[in-house]
């Protein structure tokens, strides 16, 4: 008890000392020895005092937010000056060159470019014997090469890889007796017509190709007219969809056997280096899936088909349509690579297979990939009174049928 009392007395003494120190500090503040702005406790207790204004300063340009925009990729070129090697950044403009005949080799093509006074060529890249990509340093050199008469007269088709200088449309139900020259002479349109070609189709009886009633028209420019006139009769023009070409040597997409850059023969069944075999273990050469290389369920084939739909719908080049392509989900790709077994082979039932009626099959719309990407989801359409009445009648008929059968309807 005595020790506790002593501790309690000491605590009271310390508290009295703190009170006296606080009173002395208040007296010194009131006398003006300490500046008021430095007194934080007084500012908190005195609610009527105004807050001091912030000092004004000049605006620093380095502290202003700036928007960062990614520029085009720069390509460097080696340059030596005073025995010092350096890289000079430069822009790349890509121009595609195609021809129906084989292009000259790199030095031969460079000789033709020099003879036509085409300068600032950075690189020549060969895709195959009939197509090459030429990289230029500036726009003027690329334009002079595209509009060069010597190259255009020799059958070279030059255009930028992200631009389209020509558009293709199709007119149907053209008599087989009319020749291409006669059709081209009688066609009239606001857009300049460059060429006409009658399309072919495969005969289902013997498998040979024969002429069809559809004609492909090449227009100058990137816009496709909605209609043209033939013999003063208006004919609608529909976009031309490029077919998915597949090589019968390497079984790759995008080129034919004539333009194949490879000399190795690939098997379409097992993807090995031999013409053909009798194996039942299929392996695709494009996606390594368990199907043949020419199967229509191949993901690579479906990708090429969708890209060509975008090209036809919006008149894009292949390279631009490839940038807009949206790949499917990984689950759908797995199903395409390894398709499941059909239900009829896995489970045998006595019931006949269900098939769609002609009315149901006719109501199914043919949606293309380009149309689906352009569609905007909207609100669901409400049922009309007639549709509601028909649904009520159907339910009543079902109830009557169930009662006749002797069942209980819940």
- Give me the pLDDT at residue 246, please: 92
- Give me the pLDDT at residue 4, please: 43
Helices and strands, counts by H and E, the chain:
13, 13
- Give me the pLDDT at residue 81, please: 58
In DSSP terms, 94 is beta-bridged to 135
- Give me the pLDDT at residue 30, please: 52
- Give me the pLDDT at residue 57, please: 67
Question: Which residue carries 């009527």 as its tokens?
Answer: 48
CA-nearest of 238, 243, 186, 231 to 216 is 238
CA-nearest of 261, 260, 234, 231 to 248 is 260
Domain ranges of the chain: 75-160, 167-239, 299-340
CA-nearest of 233, 202, 235, 197 to 216 is 197
Question: Angle at CA 186, nearest 5°, toward 184 and 188?
Answer: 90
In DSSP terms, 288 is beta-bridged to none
Question: Which residues, 6 or more positions from 85, have their beta carbon under 8 angstroms from its beta carbon?
Answer: 78, 79
Per-residue pLDDT of the chain (410 residues; tens, 9 = 90+): 444 444 444 545 555 666 666 666 655 555 554 444 444 444 444 554 566 666 666 666 666 666 666 655 555 555 555 666 555 555 578 898 988 888 898 888 889 999 999 988 888 888 888 889 999 888 888 889 988 888 888 888 888 888 888 899 999 999 999 899 999 999 999 999 999 999 998 888 887 889 999 999 999 888 889 999 988 899 999 999 989 999 999 999 988 888 888 888 999 999 999 988 888 899 999 998 999 999 999 999 999 999 999 888 888 888 888 888 888 876 555 555 555 544 444 444 444 444 444 444 444 445 555 555 545 444 445 566 667 677 777 777 777 777 776 654 44
Are the C-beta atoms of residues 291 and 272 closer than 8 Å to each other? no
Query: CATH code for 167-239?
Result: 3.30.70
* Domain 167-239 in the same topology as domain 75-160: yes
- Give me the pLDDT at residue 292, please: 92
Are the C-beta atoms of residues 237 and 226 closer than 8 Å to each other? yes
Which pairs count as long-range contacts for 313-321, CB under 8 Å and 24+ apart, including other chains?
Answer: 313/239, 313/368, 313/370, 313/371, 313/374, 314/370, 315/164, 315/167, 315/222, 315/223, 315/224, 315/239, 316/164, 317/159, 317/161, 317/162, 317/163, 317/164, 319/161, 319/162, 320/162
- Give me the pLDDT at residue 351, please: 45
- Give me the pLDDT at residue 236, please: 93
pTM here? 0.55
Domain 75-160 classification at class level: alpha beta
């Amino acid at each position: 008890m005595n020790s506790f009392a002593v501790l309690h007395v000491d605590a009271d003494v310390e508290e009295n000392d703190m009170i006296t120190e606080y009173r002395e500090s208040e007296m010194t503040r009131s006398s003006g020895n300490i500046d008021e702005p430095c007194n934080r406790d007084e500012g908190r207790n005195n609610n009527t005092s105004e807050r001091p204004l912030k000092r004004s300063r000049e605006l620093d340009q380095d502290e202003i937010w700036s928007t960062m925009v990614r520029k085009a990729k720069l390509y460097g070129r080696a340059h030596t000056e005073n025995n010092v090697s350096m890289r000079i950044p430069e822009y790349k403009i890509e121009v595609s060159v195609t021809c129906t005949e084989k292009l000259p080799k790199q030095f031969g093509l460079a000789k033709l470019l020099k003879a036509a006074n085409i300068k600032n060529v950075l690189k020549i890249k060969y895709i195959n014997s009939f197509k090459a990509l030429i990289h230029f340093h500036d726009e003027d050199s690329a334009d002079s090469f595209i509009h060069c008469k010597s190259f255009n007269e020799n059958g070279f088709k030059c255009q930028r890889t992200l631009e389209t200088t020509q558009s293709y449309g199709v007119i149907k139900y053209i008599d087989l007796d009319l020749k291409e020259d006669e059709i081209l002479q009688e066609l009239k349109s606001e857009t300049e017509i460059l060429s006409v070609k009658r399309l072919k189709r495969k005969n289902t009886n013997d498998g040979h190709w024969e002429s069809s009633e559809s004609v492909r028209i090449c227009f100058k420019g990137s816009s496709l007219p909605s209609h043209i006139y033939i013999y003063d009769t208006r004919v609608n023009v529909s976009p031309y969809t490029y077919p998915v070409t597949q090589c019968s040597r390497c079984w790759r997409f995008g080129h034919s056997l004539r333009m194949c850059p490879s000399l190795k023969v690939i098997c379409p069944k097992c993807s090995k280096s031999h013409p053909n075999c009798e194996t039942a273990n299929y392996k695709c050469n494009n996606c390594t899936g368990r199907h043949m290389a020419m199967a229509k369920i191949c993901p690579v084939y479906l990708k090429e088909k969708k890209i060509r739909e975008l090209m036809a719908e919006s008149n894009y080049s292949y390279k631009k349509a490839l940038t807009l392509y949206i790949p499917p989900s990984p689950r759908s790709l797995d199903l395409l690579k390894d398709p499941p077994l059909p239900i009829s082979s896995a489970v045998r039932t006595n019931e006949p297979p269900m098939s769609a009626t002609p009315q149901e099959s006719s109501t199914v719309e043919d949606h293309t990939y380009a149309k689906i990407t352009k569609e905007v989801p909207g609100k669901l359409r409400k049922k009309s009174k007639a549709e509601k009445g028909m649904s009520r009648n159907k339910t009543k008929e079902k109830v009557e049928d169930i009662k006749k059968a002797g069942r209980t309807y819940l």
